[in-house]
Each structure stands twice: as C-alpha cells, then as structure tokens.
Amino acid sequence: MFKKSEFARKVSVYFGDCLYAEFKFNDKVHDCFFYDYGVLVCWGMDENQESKILKQIEKFEINKYEPSNVEIESFRYGITKDPFIINDVIYLNSENYFTKMVISIAIAQSVKLDFFENLVDVTIEDVKDLPEEVEKEGKVSKTRKQLLQFIGKLHKLRFSLNLVSNILDEPEFVWDYPAFSSVYETCRKYLDIKSRVDLLNKRVDVISEILEIISENITTNNSERLEKTIIFMISASVLVGFIQIFMLFVLFKK
C-alpha cells in the first residue's frame, strides 16, 4: 500500500492488532497505527500531514464512513519518567513505538466507541417522540416496517459492538508483553471505555424494548382489524344468503 509513498519509511504488522508505519515529513519521523475497524492513530503530525496519509489510503478503503460519521480525538504528548495520561496529555518515558502502539489501541477503541455512541444518539433522535405519540394519540406515525428497521439497526449495532469489533478485547500484544498491560489499562480507564460500553448496551436495550413493544402493539391492532374485517365479511355473506333465501321463498310463494 505504501511502496510508492514518498513519505513512508517502514511498514509492519503486529499480532493482527494493527498495521504500524513510519512516515517522514520535514526530516522528522512520525508513527502511525492503522486498525482494521476503521481507525487511524497518528503521532506528532499536523492536519495537513494527516490528510496526505488519508489521501494515500483512500483507494484501499472499504465501506467508507460518511463525513458526518467521522470521529476525531486529539491529544498532546510529551516525555517524562513514567508514562501516564491526564487532561488529554499523554506522557511517555520514551519515543518507543511499542508504548505508542499500546496507547494507540486504547485511543482507537475509544474513537470507534464514539462512532457507536453517535449511531445510538441518531436512533434515539428518530424515535424519541414515539412514546409520547402513543400516550396522546394511541398510535404512532411510524409503520411496523420502519420500527422493525430501527430494531434491526440496533441489534446490528450491538452485534458489532460486542462481537465483531475489537474494542472490547484486550489486544494480543498485551498478552505477549504483559509489561505494557498497566499502560493499556491506564489509558482505557482514563478514556472510560468499560463504563461507556456498559451504558451504550443499556441504552440499546431500553430503546429496543420500547420499539418491540410498540411494534407488537401495531401487530396486535392489525390482527384485531383483520379479525373485524373477516367477521364483517362473514356477516355480510350470511346476510346476502338470508336475502337470497328470502327472495326465493317469495318467488316460490307466488
């Protein structure tokens, strides 16, 4: 992918967790980490340099995000004796790219979680008025098909969050290099990943439950309407039968 790049110097893949690449701009080397769930973490670059990298990988993108769905998190970083993170400033004990890789994994997980949180917010905005509609009107403006589509979207989101994406998994790299485990856990804790995932799952559960109840209610109403229609048709058929019998009786009587 970067063989013809004028900026790329070194490209490596580590443990299937990420693709690591070095880029050189203005005689300074920068580290970048690419994740297969659609996140890129760059160290020490400005927006112009980041844009050049994004431009290079553009033709390799699959299921590209809409611009409105792109999430960006920015941090500053510096060098100190012991690595830690505070007030969106990351302190490293060296420019070692292994340490950067571990921190980048946590940041990438947080950014992907931002994406899922935004999808849930959009869904909530779409359906937030439905309970009030039921209370006031006894019905909703959405069709059962639309409600099922919302429910399907939420189940797909939960499936991606909990089973498909890697944002809940401890990276294989940390298992093989336990010395980096504390750095990884510190970053995850700072970014509040676990509690955000728990809250997101709870929100999805609540919305899904409400939509399913409303959808079942629509199904019940439709069934009742269908039953009434069938009863009416049977009644009409019986009435027509009686009329025909009555007319035959009158004709024969004459």
pLDDT number for residue 223: 47
223 vs 35, residue with greater confidence: 35
Give the model's pLDDT for residue 69.
76
pLDDT of residue 175: 79
Q: Would you place residue 41 in the very low, low, confident or very high pLDDT band (cuts 50, 70, 90)? A: very high
* Token digits of residue 214: 């409303």
Ranges 23-37, 48-62, 97-111, 140-154: which has the least confidence? 140-154
Q: Show me where the domains of the chain are located.
A: 8-228
Q: What is the rounded CA–CA span in Å between residue 65 and residue 55?
A: 14
Contacts of 111 (CB under 8 A, 6+ apart): 39, 71, 72, 73
Q: How confident is the model at residue 42 (pLDDT cuts 50, 70, 90)?
A: very high
Res 247: pLDDT:
62
Average pLDDT (31-44) is: 89
Residues 168-218 pLDDT 10s = 777 777 778 888 888 888 899 999 998 998 888 888 888 888 777 777 765
* Overall average pLDDT of the 243-252 stretch: 59
Predicted confidence at residue 235, as pLDDT, reads: 56
- In this predicted model, what pLDDT tens digit does every residue of 44-93 receive, in sequence order? 888 898 888 888 888 878 878 777 778 888 899 888 887 778 888 888 88
Decide which of 1 and 151 is more confident: 151
Answer whether 50's CB lies under 8 Å from 42's CB. yes
pLDDT band for position 238 (cuts 50, 70, 90): low
For residue range 125-163, list pLDDT tens digits in order.
888 787 787 777 777 677 778 878 878 888 888 887 776
Q: Give pLDDT, residue 10.
A: 60
**DSSP classification of residue 98:** H
CA-nearest of 244, 170, 233, 158 to 202 is 158
pLDDT at 176: 80
Q: Over 70: is that where the pLDDT of 6 sits?
A: no
Sheet holding 76-79, edge to edge: 76-79, 89-92, 84-86
Distance of CA 194 to the CA centre of its chain: 15
Mean pLDDT of 229-238: 55
Q: How would residue 226 be classed by pLDDT, with cut points 50, 70 and 90?
A: very low
Helix residue ranges per DSSP H, the chain: 47-57, 97-127, 130-137, 144-159, 172-176, 181-190, 193-253
